[in-house]
Amino acid sequence: MSAIITEKAFEYLDAPIKRVGSPFTPVGFNRILEKAILPNTDLIYKAAKELKSRVEDFIGSGAKSINVGTFHSICARILRQEIHNIGYSKNFTIYDTKDQLSLINTIIKTKNINLGSLKPKAILNKISKLKSDMIMPHEFDAKTYIPLEELTSIIYPLYMKHLAKCDALDFDDLLSLPIKLFKKHPEVLQKYQNFYKYILVDEYQDTNKSQFLFIDLLSKKHKNVCVVGDDDQSIYSWRGADVSNILDFEKTYPNSKVFKLEQNYRSTKNIITAAYSVVKNNNIRAEKKLWSDNETGDLIQILEGRDEYDEAYKISAAIQQEIRSAKRNFKDFAILYRTNAQSRVLEQVLNRNKIPNVIVGGVRFYERKEVKDIIAYLSFFANMKDDISLKRIINTPPRGIGNKTLDIIESHADENGISLFDSLSRLNEITLTSRANNVLTKFHEIIVQYSSLLSTINLEEWVRMLIDGLGYFKYLKGSDDEESKQRRANIDELLNAITDYCSTVEQPRLQDYLEEVALMTDIDSWKDKKNSVSLMTLHSAKGLEFPVVLIPGLNTGLLPLGNDDIDEKALNEERRLFYVGITRAEKKLYIAFAHERNVFGQTKSSFESQFLAELPSELVTNQTSEFSSSTNLKSGESTPYKAPAKRSSTSSTTATSSAVSKTKDPKPGMMVSHKIFGTGKIMRVLGHGPNSKLTINFRSAGTKTIIARYVKLF
C-alpha cells in the first residue's frame, strides 16, 4: 500500500475527504495513483518521479514537493533522521522475516525455552500482531492457560531486548516507532506536520492501527487528508489491517466529506456484475451499487483441467487463442493465483508453449540463500552490532567455525552484555582450542580489513573485491552443477543491481542501498517492459489492471485456502481476494480449476471452489470450443503433459454443476461417509478396490481404519 504525501498537489481538494470504491474511480487521482505508483517502477525514487510528472500533467505545474512511498519506506526515512531522539542508533539495520525467525530461535536456544508443539513462526506471528496493534511487552495481558500466549509473553520482551542490542528494527518497528517518536517529541512531530501539509493515502482499507495513528498525528495540524479505499478489497487483516479505519472515517473526522465512486471505468459490465455477485455473499460489508458505461463484454470463461498441468495448458491455449483472434500482446495478460507455489507449474507449461512470462514476487530475489548471504555480509559491515547477520556469515563459506565454537562465543557475549563481534575482539578472555582461536582470529582480521577498505574505494568495487576475497564463487561451485550455475548468476545479478544503484544515486551509501533492498516491494522490481505475461499472487495484483486476467486454482482448499474448518471471517477475506482478482480484468476474465492437484507431492482429487457457484450462470461459459481440442500448439515433441482431458462433460454452459470425480478408487483427501462414524476424510489408502484399507479421519469419531466397501465416497 502506498502513501502519497504532497504539498501543492491536493490544494484544490476540500479536505479531509474520504473516497470509497477504489476500483471504480473516475479519471482522477486514484487512477493516476494506480497508474503511476504501481506499475513500471523500479525503485521508490523512480516511482516518486513518475508520480510527480503524472500529477503535473493533471494539475499543471506546482506539484513540486511530492513524496511518494509505502508507509514502511516513508517511516524508515523519518527514522533515519530522527531515531536518535528515542535512543536508537541511526545505523539501525532492518530485519526481514528470516532474520526475525533466526533471532527467535537464538532466544529459544539460549534461554532453554521449551516450545512444545508450537513453531517459532507462530510466536513470531503473534509478536508481529501485537506490535502492529501497538501493544508493548509490558502491556500484553497474556492468557497463561494458552501456550501460545504464555510463551509469547516470555519471548516477546526478550525479542525486543535482543533487537535493541543489535541496533535492529523489524518491519513493525518501522511503523510504530515514528509514533513513539512523535508522542515523545512534539517538536519533531510539528516539523513533519509542516513538511507534509497534504496527505493522501491509497488502499486505506488495508491500514493497521499504527498506520492509522501515523497519518492521524501527521495530519492533526493542517487537517488535509484524503484517503482512498474499498472495504471489499481488504485483504490484509491477517497482518493487522483494520477495515474500521475506513468504515469509521466519517466518525473519526466529523468534518470529512465522502465521495462514493461507484462508476467503474475499468471493466466490462459482465466482469463488474460477476465481481459483485461474488462479493455480495459476504456478510460484513458496506453495500454499494456499482455501475459502468463500458461495453457488456464477453462472457467469463471457465477452464476445466484434469490436473494442474492440464489447467496450465488450458490457460496457455487461451492466451494463444486470444493473441490470434483478438490481436492482443503477451503483456496484456496476467495470471493471478492464491499461493506462490502455483507459479511453478504455470511457468513450466508457459515456457514449453513459448509464451514469454515473468513471475512477480515468488521466492524473492533478495531472499535467495546466496543473495541473502552476501546481503548479510553487507549488513554486517553497515552495523557491526548485528549479531544475526554475523551468525549467518561467520561460517559461510565454511571456515571451521562450528556450532560448539559459536556457542562459546555467544555465551561470552551474553555474560558481558556485548555484541558477538566485540567478543571476537576479546578472544584472550575466552578459553578455546587453539584451532578455534586461529580461525576466529583470521575471521576477525578479514572483517577489520574489509571494513577499513570500504572507506577508501567506491561501493561497487568494494563489493566485488569482498565476494572475490571470500572465495564465494568457489564455495558455490561445491554444490551440483546446474544449481551452482543459477546461484552464480544470481550473485552476478546482485552485483549488477549494486552497479545500477551506484550509477543512479548521487552518493552511493551502503546503508541506503540496504534500506532500499529491505523495503523493495515485488511490484517495484517488476520489469514489465518486456512483452510478457505477468504471473503474481492475488495479493500482489491489488491496484493493478490488465486487459485479460486468468485466475487458476478455483478449488476447495486453494481458493478459499484452508481446510474445511475455515471460519466465516477468513472465508469472507478469501472471497474478497477472489473479488480483487476479478476486478483486475478490463476486457476478459478466465477462471480455471482442476479435478486433481498435486499437494505435498501426492495427487489428490480436488473439488470446485464454492466461489464458482457464486458467479451468475448466465455470465459464464465453459465452451472452450475454439481451442479445447486443439493440439495445434507447438507444444514440442517431448511434452510430458497429457493431452486435454476428453470429458463427455460440460454440455451445460455454467460452472455451477458440481464436479464430482467419478473415479471408483478411494484416494487420500477424499471425503467419505460411514453409517456409524459419519463423515470423514481419507488420510491413507492401502491396496486397491473395494477391499482396500482406508485410514479415515472422522470429524467426530477420530481416526479409524476401515475397509473401503463399508464407506460411501462423496
Partner DNA sequence: AAGGTAGCGGTTTTT
Partner DNA sequence: CCGCTACCTT
User: Nearest 5°: CA angle at 437, between 431 and 439?
Assistant: 155
Q: Is 204 in the site for DNA (CB under 7 A)?
A: no
Answer for which of 512, 522, 528, 665 binds DNA (CB under 7 A) is: 522
- Closest approach, Cβ 114 to DNA, in A, equals 12
* Per-residue interface string for the shown chain with DNA, residues 559-588, x marking contact by CB under 7 A: --xx-------x------------------
Q: Interface with DNA by CB under 7 A: which range of 484-492, 514-522, 544-552, 619-627? A: 514-522
Q: Are 320 and 533 in contact (CB under 8 A)?
A: no
- With CA atoms as reference, report the closest residue to 702 among 670, 678, 672, 669: 678
Q: Is 411 in the site for DNA (CB under 7 A)?
A: no
Q: Is 105 in the site for DNA (CB under 7 A)?
A: yes
Q: Is 606 in the site for DNA (CB under 7 A)?
A: no
Q: Are 95 and 387 in contact (CB under 8 A)?
A: no
Q: Are 9 and 59 in contact (CB under 8 A)?
A: yes
Q: Interface with DNA by CB under 7 A: which range of 306-314, 392-400, 418-426, 612-620? A: 392-400
Q: Is 525 in the site for DNA (CB under 7 A)?
A: no
CB nearer DNA, residue 395 or residue 657: 395
Answer for which of 395, 425, 650, 656 binds DNA (CB under 7 A) is: 395
Q: Interface with DNA by CB under 7 A: which range of 17-25, 282-290, 501-509, 594-602? A: 594-602
Q: Alpha carbon of 474 to those of 12, 38, 372, 485: distances in Å?
A: 61, 39, 17, 11
Instruction: Using CB atoms within 10 Å of the CB of residue 700, give its burial: 0 to 12 exposed, 13 to 18 middle, 19+ buried.
Output: exposed
Q: Is 405 in the site for DNA (CB under 7 A)?
A: yes
- Among the residues of 417-557, which ranges form H helices? 420-424, 434-454, 459-470, 472-477, 481-504, 510-519
- With CA atoms as reference, report the closest residue to 311 among 558, 9, 541, 478: 558
586 sits in the region (left: phi over 0; alpha: psi -120 to 50; else beta) called: alpha
Q: Is 523 in the site for DNA (CB under 7 A)?
A: yes
Q: Is 118 in the site for DNA (CB under 7 A)?
A: no
Q: Interface with DNA by CB under 7 A: which range of 326-334, 399-407, 451-459, 631-639? A: 399-407
CB nearer DNA, residue 320 or residue 405: 405
CB nearer DNA, residue 422 or residue 522: 522
Q: Is 414 in the site for DNA (CB under 7 A)?
A: no
Task: List all residues 6 or more positions away from 638 whose beta carbon is below 8 Å from its beta carbon.
Answer: none
CB nearer DNA, residue 127 or residue 272: 127
Q: Interface with DNA by CB under 7 A: which range of 189-197, 292-300, 516-524, 694-702? A: 516-524
- Closest approach, Cβ 401 to DNA, in A, equals 6
- Closest approach, Cβ 300 to DNA, in A, equals 24
Binders of DNA among residues 534 to 553 (CB under 7 A) are 536-537, 539-540
Q: Before 666, cis peptide (omega within 30)?
A: no
Task: List all residues 6 or more positions away from 531 whose beta carbon is below 8 Å from its beta carbon.
Answer: 329, 330, 331, 356
Answer for which of 341, 457, 660, 707 binds DNA (CB under 7 A) is: 341
Q: Is 119 in the site for DNA (CB under 7 A)?
A: yes
Helices 369-382 + 459-470 axis angle, to 10: 120
Q: Alpha carbon of 420 to those of 7, 157, 164, 406, 417: distances in Å?
A: 46, 20, 14, 9, 9
Interatomic CA distance for residues 633 and 636, integer angstroms: 8
Q: Interface with DNA by CB under 7 A: which range of 294-302, 596-604, 664-672, 690-698? A: 596-604
* Per-residue interface string for the shown chain with DNA, residues 433-472, x marking contact by CB under 7 A: x--x------------------------------------
CB nearer DNA, residue 285 or residue 597: 597
Give the CB-side neighbour count of residue 667, counting CA atoms within 13 A: 15
Answer for which of 338, 576, 588, 681 binds DNA (CB under 7 A) is: 338
Q: Is 389 in the site for DNA (CB under 7 A)?
A: no
Q: Is 155 in the site for DNA (CB under 7 A)?
A: no
Count of Cβ atoms closer than 10 Å to residue 618 Cβ: 11
Answer for which of 22, 423, 521, 555 binds DNA (CB under 7 A) is: 521
- Chain centroid, CA 498 distance in Å: 23
Q: Is 401 in the site for DNA (CB under 7 A)?
A: yes
How many residues line the site for DNA (CB under 7 A)?
48
Q: Alpha carbon of 3 to those of 15, 47, 347: distances in Å?
A: 16, 12, 33
Binders of DNA among residues 163 to 202 (CB under 7 A) are 171-172
- Closest approach, Cβ 348 to DNA, in A, equals 9
DSSP state of 558: B
Interatomic CA distance for residues 181 and 686, integer angstroms: 63
Answer for which of 31, 72, 197, 575 binds DNA (CB under 7 A) is: 72
Q: Before 560, cis peptide (omega within 30)?
A: yes
Q: Is 129 in the site for DNA (CB under 7 A)?
A: no
Interatomic CA distance for residues 343 and 365, integer angstroms: 15
C-alpha cell at 374: 552476501
What are the residues binding DNA (CB under 7 A)? 70-73, 96-97, 105, 119, 121, 171-172, 235, 238-239, 338-341, 344, 361, 363, 369, 395, 398-405, 433, 436, 478, 519, 521-523, 536-537, 539-540, 561-562, 570, 599-601
